[in-house]
Chains A and B, each alone.
Chain A
Amino acid sequence: MSWTPKEPIVSVRDVHKRFGAVEVLKGVSFDVMKGEVICIIGPSGSGKSTLLRCINALVPIEQGSILVEGQEVHDPALDKLALRRKVGMVFQQYNLFPHKTALQNVMMAPLHVLKQDKAEVEARARRLIKKVRLEGKEDAYPGELSGGQQQRVAIARSLAMSPDVMLFDEVTAALDPETVKEVLVTIRELAAEGMTCLLVTHEMGFARELADHIYFTDRGVIVEHGPPAEFFANAKDPRTRQFLSQIL
């Protein structure tokens, strides 16, 4: 059962997830093809972050299945390292390692986890830092960088593992409007290079421009979805309409 790029790179089927008594995901299904950019939007608490965290097995699911490149993510026998090499994740709060410089943050996982050659890792890390437009900041500590700069280091850090899929969880939500742009430019470039991206975002303009498909979630279910043009022009569900009218 080997995966081919003709099949979805991420396939989510009827996923249920509860935290204690609260059912956060109540049967979510969708597919993402290689190279696609999908945006997940929805009100706070609707389970968007939880969904992304399920996809790279940071939290277990109760029911359903999630396949990444044909591999069941919640198979207990799954090699989590193999999965996490394929799936990179960037968080709202950047979550850089504060005791390491920008360059070291990018180099750490390939060195510690993949045990790759140091010189090669460093060369790659420097290229990535350049790619996210942070040349000259290699030796700065996270505490010495702005939010937007930290977030770009976090993106470079994920890319250093050469993932096939990137998950972005409201990566611009903690940034001021000026620096949002810097980060969006980086993501736009990644998408243009053919990286498969799953974005949770509140940047509707960005979603409209970049997404191949938009999913609107509310209270643990996908209420409505479609290509951006269609989705924004004629959303049918009242919940979607209300959400869009508030945010646009």
Chain B
Amino acid sequence: MDLQPVWDWFRWLYEATGIKLTIFYDDFDRSRFFNGFLTSVRLMGVCLVASVAIGIVGAWLQGARSHLVRLVVQAYIQFFRNTPPLVQLYFFYFALGSYLRITNENGLSVPLVGNFAWAAICLSFYAGAFNVEIFRAGIEAVPRQTIEAAESLGYSRLKAYLYVILPLAFRISLPALNNNLVNLIKTTTISYAIAVPEMLYVANQIWSDEVNVPEMMNVLLVVYVSLVGLLVWAMSRWERAMRVPGWGVS
């Protein structure tokens, strides 16, 4: 599909009205904005999956017999819930990152973990802490007798969790999970602060070069609204697909 006419139209728009959307008609800006967009989407994708996985494992560990394990999980949740995500990101990147360095073959000291990876790790644990609590609330809503029925059929604790508790808790948790994941998507923008070349970061570069701040702001809003809309839509489809006839609130 040849998009040249579209790009030309935006150039015409600029010439006719002064609305300067270089990300459409300037090849260099288009390519860096597109790469920024892809970086953002990749970061969101990684964090969505990882934070849900952390939530599932964390909620399982919260029910562990070992007091120490429960304490560690609780400390993790408190740390990530009660500190600002931006501070967490700085902490990971500047404090931990400064220790985690290796010397490469040219004798230079380079970071072991890149900034994208730090952002992904930090945001996943940040959203994961909330997901643990969300899933725990879901697990607590699963009737004790249902779990007992699984036990009486020979299910071990792990199997009961995987096949009975989690599927039910997950359905109960979906609305709250939905909110948290939307929040996660929006929070990925803080990785701007450690120079991850995501959408906000490249938009900043573009408006510095092109002096088109209002246009880029509008572009950012539209793109983020669309991404959040897409997530909400996907989640509600998922919620509907998982709905069980005759069970639950709706």
Residues on A lying within 8 angstroms of B by beta carbon are: 56, 58, 80-81, 84-85, 87-89, 91, 93, 95-99, 108-109, 112-114, 141-144, 154, 157-158, 161
Instruction: List the B residue with the shortest CB-CB distance to A114.
Output: B154
Closest 8 CB pairs of A and B: A143-B246, A95-B149, A109-B153, A84-B154, A98-B247, A113-B154, A89-B152, A143-B247
Residues on B lying within 8 angstroms of A by beta carbon are: 143, 145-146, 148-156, 159, 163-164, 167-168, 171, 244-248
Q: Which residues of A contact B152 (CB under 8 A)?
A: 56, 58, 84, 87-89, 158
Instruction: List the B residue with the shortest CB-CB distance to A82.
Output: B154
Counted as pairs of residues, one from A and one from B, with CB atoms less than 8 Å apart, the total is 73
- A144 with B245, Cβ < 8 A, contacts A91-B145, A95-B145, A95-B146 known: yes
* Other A-B pairs, 4, CB within 8 Å; known A84-B153, A109-B153, A141-B244: A97-B168, A112-B155, A113-B154, A113-B159
Q: Which residues of A contact B145 (CB under 8 A)?
A: 91, 93, 95
Q: Is the CB of B148 within 8 A of A81?
A: no
Q: Is the CB of B159 within 8 A of A112?
A: yes
Mostly helix, strand, loop or mixed at chain A's interface?
mixed
- A113 with B247, Cβ < 8 A, contacts A93-B145, A95-B146, A99-B167 known: no
Instruction: List the B residue with the shortest CB-CB distance to A92.
Output: B145
Q: Which residues of B contact A113 (CB under 8 A)?
A: 153-155, 159
20 residue pairs A–B, Cβ–Cβ below 8 Å? A58-B152, A80-B154, A81-B156, A84-B152, A84-B154, A85-B154, A88-B152, A91-B148, A91-B149, A95-B143, A95-B145, A98-B146, A109-B154, A112-B155, A113-B153, A113-B159, A141-B245, A142-B247, A154-B149, A161-B154
Instruction: List the B residue with the shortest CB-CB distance to A59.
Output: B148
Q: Which residues of A contact B143 (CB under 8 A)?
A: 95
Q: Which residues of B contact A154 (CB under 8 A)?
A: 149
CA distance A114 to B163 in the complex (A): 14
Q: Is the CB of B153 within 8 A of A157?
A: yes
- A108 with B163, Cβ < 8 A, contacts A143-B247, A144-B246 known: yes
Q: Which residues of A contact B163 (CB under 8 A)?
A: 108, 112
CA distance A104 to B156 in the complex (A): 19
Which one of A81, A93, A112 has the greatest number of beta carbons of chain B within 10 Å? A112
CA distance A84 to B245 in the complex (A): 30
Partner of A141, one of B155, B164, B246: B246
Q: Is the CB of B148 within 8 A of A143?
A: no
Partner of B153, one of A98, A141, A161: A161
Partner of A58, one of B151, B156, B171, B246: B151
Instruction: List the A residue with the shortest CB-CB distance to B151.
Output: A58
Instruction: List the A residue with the shortest CB-CB distance to B142.
Output: A98
